Amino acid sequence: MLETSYPTQFEETKKDKKVETYLDKYKLKINDILVEINIVLYEDEPTPKYMVSLTNISDATKLILEKIRQEFISRVDSKQIENANNANESKDKFQSEITTLIKKYFPSANEETTNMLVNYIIQENLGLGKIEILLKDIFLEEIVVNNHSEALWVYHKKHGWLMTNIKLITEAKIRHYATMIGREVGKEITTLSPLMDAHLSTGDRVNSTLYPISSKGNTITIRKFSADPWTITKFIKDNTLSVEAAAFIWLAVQNELSVLVAGGTGSGKTSMLNVVANFFPPNQRILSIEDTRELTLPSNLHWVPMETRLPNPEGKGEITMLDLLVNSLRMRPDRILVGEIRRQKEAQVVLEAMHTGHSVYATIHANNADEVIVRLTNPPIDIPKPMISSLSIIIAQSRNRRTGKRRTLQIAEVTSTGDARILMQLNVGEDKLEKMSDSEAVLERLKLYTGLSAENIAKDLEQKTRILKWLVKNNIENVDKIGAVMSRYYLGNLKID
């Protein structure tokens, strides 16, 4: 059942708390509702707070809206709301009912104000409530509900983990949201099945757990799908990657050398995979395989994205990463992107694809290049070391837990014996990617398969460096605009200042 009470205001910070520093401030407009975000460090608080306030709805108006909300709930059977096929259907079905109530209490409101107030009521009752505000903030990567007694947490791209001033007032509300999300994609979360992986229609990944599996209460964790994905320009500007390193990766990708991106959780593996895909030529067929869609490639590419599928409640209909990998080899791919290698069979198929001439780009959990080799050659993956030589480059990503900064830790080539040879490595103290040694294996492959001399390769890297600097100088950050630049480059008609 839907609760018949809901807080009319956000959780207020104690009035006697002294603001120490305002770290950030910006505004959002969500369905005509103006939202102000303040990131504030309070005195005696261990972490900054993410403060949300609605600027065009007064406290008095909120009290009236709460009365309208109560009247709406009394008129409508909550089961009608819960059993609607999807959230959009619910909104369409009850919009006229809510509009009538708004006009009753706000008879002089114009159309714009009426629409804004209707959207507010719909958001509070038929969507994910104030979580929807957080979903619209492009600076947030994660949204976390730990239980009803604790405020929500968010992971901010600039400021790391922040506690918000938003709470869900009951465990039932958290469970209702999880159930609603699951219903949208044919999943269910129950006492017998208290763990759920799902995704929103926007592509955001959702994990939910129920009490007592999570002993403090029901949880929801949302990893947001980036509508504005990381690109090579953003990586260079953010100092995640140097221009010289980017040029080297571009050279390898252009010449169809396979790349494995390693790193820990939240280190930027998928973001780096997205950046690597910026360098694909438009005249090749690209297949991507993921558990949940996270990659966003330029729209001018010949790209076929595919997703795995979990079994239904009867245990049928599962489509695994391995199923899609095997099937992808029958689809005449030029490039294959793999969300993550976890198991032996997946690794075997990926490496066999490399051996048969396919260019493969994938991610794996490992902290550095040497750990990648160890992971691949030991149980449970346990691939024979000589087989790894079909892989050309390892890019290791890292995140500094203290500062929250994501950086490329290492770029390594894989030798003919299956070992990793570090070419560039991050100097953490100076926050700079430094050259460790000259490439041998990659350059030998390029000479063998392309006929390029060392001098040709050096000139090519120099040209790529100039283009990358031009992208940065001209603030070309959008993934489609970068795709258009790459298309002109491969066609031979790119002109830069």
pLDDT for 2 equals 30
Q: What CATH number is associated with residue 198?
A: 3.30.450.370
152: phi then psi, degrees, rounded to nearest 5: -65, 150
Q: 462: which 2 tokens?
A: 């120099």
Q: Number of folded domains in the chain?
A: 3
Mean pLDDT by 10 residues, the chain (497 residues): 36 57 91 88 89 79 77 66 53 75 84 81 78 92 96 93 94 93 87 90 90 97 86 96 98 97 93 97 96 90 92 84 94 95 92 91 96 95 92 96 88 96 96 96 93 94 97 96 97 89
Query: Is residue 310 located within the same domain as residue 382?
Result: yes
pLDDT for 117 equals 82
Query: Is residue 211 located within the same domain as residue 293?
Result: no
- The parent domain of residue 66 ranges over 57-127
Of 192, 225, 258, the residue that ends a domain is 225
The answer to the question of residue 44 being in a domain is: no
- DSSP letters along 82-96, please? HTSSSHHHHHHHHHH
SS3 460: helix
SS3 139: coil
Query: Is residue 213 located within the same domain as residue 266?
Result: no
The answer to the question of residue 375 being in a domain is: yes
CB 188 within 8 A of CB 175: no
pLDDT for 371 equals 97
- DSSP letters along 294-338, please? -----TTSEEEEEE-B---TTS---B-HHHHHHHHTTS--SEEEE
Q: Where are the alpha helices (DSSP H) in 170-284?
A: 171-184, 232-237, 243-254, 269-276
Query: Is residue 140 located within the same domain as residue 216?
Result: yes
The answer to the question of residue 274 being in a domain is: yes
- The model carries a pTM of 0.81
* Residue indicated by tokens 């007592």: 212
pLDDT for 497 equals 74
Query: Is residue 354 located within the same domain as residue 462?
Result: yes
Of 172, 195, 225, the residue that ends a domain is 225
Rounded Cα distance, 94 and 83, in Å = 13
The answer to the question of residue 91 being in a domain is: yes
pLDDT for 1 equals 28
pLDDT for 87 equals 52
Query: Is residue 194 located within the same domain as residue 78?
Result: no
The answer to the question of residue 41 being in a domain is: no
The answer to the question of residue 389 being in a domain is: yes
Query: Is residue 150 located within the same domain as residue 298?
Result: no
The answer to the question of residue 255 being in a domain is: yes
Q: What CATH number is associated with residue 336?
A: 3.40.50.300
Query: Is residue 196 located within the same domain as residue 279?
Result: no
Query: Is residue 217 located within the same domain as residue 263?
Result: no
Query: Is residue 355 located within the same domain as residue 271?
Result: yes
Query: Is residue 182 located within the same domain as residue 118?
Result: no
Rounded Cα distance, 104 and 108, in Å = 9
Of the candidates 360, 351, 362, 335, the one whose C-alpha atom is nearest the C-alpha of residue 386 is 351
Query: Is residue 153 located within the same domain as residue 279?
Result: no
Of 188, 208, 225, the residue that ends a domain is 225
CB 335 within 8 A of CB 280: yes
pLDDT for 68 equals 80
Residues with Cβ < 8 Å from 376, sequence gap 6 or more? Answer: 347, 364, 383, 388
SS3 470: helix
pLDDT for 226 equals 77
